[in-house]
A and B are shown apart, each in its own frame.
Chain A
Amino acid sequence: MIQTYLQGRIFIYQAVTIRFTDTDSSATTDVVFAEHVSFDTVDLFAEHLQTTVQAVGGNFGDWTFSVLTASEASSVAGTLKIGTGNAGFQVDFNQGGATTGTGLRRYLGHNSDTISTGSSTYYFASKVQASFYPERGALSVVRNSTKYDRIQMMTIGGHSFSQFSKDTLDLPIIALRVSLQFNTEGDDYGELKIFELFLDAVFDYPNGGEPFSVTHGDDVYVVWFSGGDVVLEYARMIDGFNGAWQLELALETYTEN
């Protein structure tokens, strides 16, 4: 079955320096994020951390960063996982005395500014705030249409010209319709509440904000809600399995898959 999941983006609104310390070798490395850097998905953020840290070499060459796509060791899908392959490690989200990393680690689902563990594997305290991993994949993810905006101008002399360039700013806008299905069994009306918390996190966290991403199987779309106000209406699925609801999302993306 195809898995579908949604992730918020990560927007670095203030410069952050995160220090990683390998306990075994006592080596340290700082990963620096400049102000206003952004990552379209949390997966890309984890990938960036892994590439940067592994490039340091030595014990760091074995470090891995990933986002769980399924529950593992009592941690739910969407949780960040760090593995060293060797021994324990430390992470300081506010290296250098700054406090700018606090908001970021909160958004990433961690409850303190430092991690200090003797284990080679560590799971963040909770899942990434803006992440949603429904039990069931989307019913459909459909590219409805592709729109190429153009600018048309007319000169005083009566000549007109139009402009469209895929190479600069004028990326086509692709209308994407995603039909999510929710399992409403269990506590707190199941995934309906979790999805709403995802939307709140996307919009409310300074490190979040649109766009967010929809991953459906191998396809990753970076999306915005289309139109002005976002109107979402859950619907009970006709002939669905017990407790299933669904929701249609009308989105726009620039991604060209």
Chain B
Amino acid sequence: MPQLHKIECKWRFRLGTQKFTVTQGGATALTCPDGWAETFAGIAAVVQTRLQTISGNFSCVVSSAGKVTIAHSGPTNFTIDWTEPSLATALGFDGSQLTGAATYTSTAQSPLVFEASLPWSGDRPGLVFSRKAPRLFKKTKKTLKLAKVRTWTVSIRVAADEVEQWRRVANLLQIGTPARWYRNKDDAVDWSWTNFDGAVDVVLSSEITSLSDDWPGFPLRQHLIQDLSFFTWSNND
């Protein structure tokens, strides 16, 4: 079985806006602190930290790809009202009140997460050097390197029944949302020369102005292929 890939868009908790209210006995308004969650599990961890200011019995953990489970181990029923619907959406809930239970699991996959069921291919690194190269004086003057950026390209395969979920993630990538790309979904360690299949932090290359679907074997439409290229700022060693 080839290794399978996963992409998780990063999530920005904006100061004072990601609020939710937990009611268990009395109501407690919780506000998530400003900052980036680097992974989907990182979002769950922030929410769990907030919940545990009420009780250590609360937990919020990733239960499956793009889904979380929020629970009270008492178990004691509790209610969550989402002040900010985008946080509910990020966690895979529809934004309506969660009530009448001690455990809630996301009703849909988070739009931040895509876990491939088909192998992706042709993933390969590259480099872009920006230079200051005064052409007229090439024979005598020295060329300076202004910047070095690592790039990655890959041909992704998305099964027909996954396309809707892929579109959600692709939309975020296309507006420049940074993401963590697990080149082996079971390997969370950073990419390095000694861990070549490791995860890289990426943004869609600014040179990509559109994404095109290629459906091999049309009209069977079993899976689509897209060619993606990324810039990455991961560890360069």
Contact = CB atoms under 8 A, between A and B. Distances in A.
Interface stretch (A80-88, A121-129, A159-167, A189-197): A189-197
B124 A234 contact: yes
Interface string A64-108: 000000000000000000000000000000000000000000000
A187 B139 contact: no
Contacts of A33: none
Contacts of A189: 193-194, 196
Interface in A216-252: 224-225, 228-236, 245
Nearest to A236: B124
A233 B126 contact: yes
Contact of A234 (B125, B131, B145): B125
Interface stretch (A46-54, A132-140, A203-211): A203-211
Interface in A159-177: 169, 171
A12 B143 CA distance: 15
Given A203-B143, A203-B145, A224-B138, A230 B127 contact: yes
Nearest to B141: A209
Interface in B110-132: 122, 124-131
Given A234-B124, A234-B126, A228 B145 contact: no
B144 interface: yes
Contacts of A192: 125, 193
Contacts of A228: 130-131, 133
B79 interface: no
A199 interface: yes
B193 A232 contact: no
A212 to B, nearest CB: 10
A103 to B, nearest CB: 14
Interface residues of B, number: 22
| Secondary structure class of chain B's binding surface, majority of residues | strand
Nearest to B152: A233
B167 interface: no
A204 B128 contact: no
A193 B196 CA distance: 11
B128 A231 contact: yes
A209 B140 CA distance: 11
B165 interface: no
B133 A210 contact: yes
A132 B122 CA distance: 25
B129 A230 contact: yes
A74 B97 CA distance: 70
B142 to A, nearest CB: 4
B39 interface: no
A244 to B, nearest CB: 13
Given A192-B193, A230-B131, A209 B142 contact: yes
A11 interface: yes
A203 B129 contact: yes
Contacts of A24: none
A211 B145 CA distance: 12
Nearest to B138: A224
A107 to B, nearest CB: 14
B122 A199 contact: no
A232 B142 CA distance: 21
Interface in B43-84: none
B148 interface: yes
A45 interface: no
Given A187-B194, A228-B133, A230-B131, A204 B124 contact: no
A235 B125 CA distance: 8
B174 interface: no
B151 interface: yes
Given A232-B129, A233-B151, 16 more contacts: A192-B193, A193-B193, A199-B127, A200-B148, A203-B129, A203-B131, A209-B143, A209-B144, A210-B131, A211-B138, A225-B133, A229-B129, A229-B130, A230-B129, A234-B125, A254-B139
In the A-B complex, the 3 residue pairs with the closest CB atoms: A203-B145, A233-B126, A210-B143
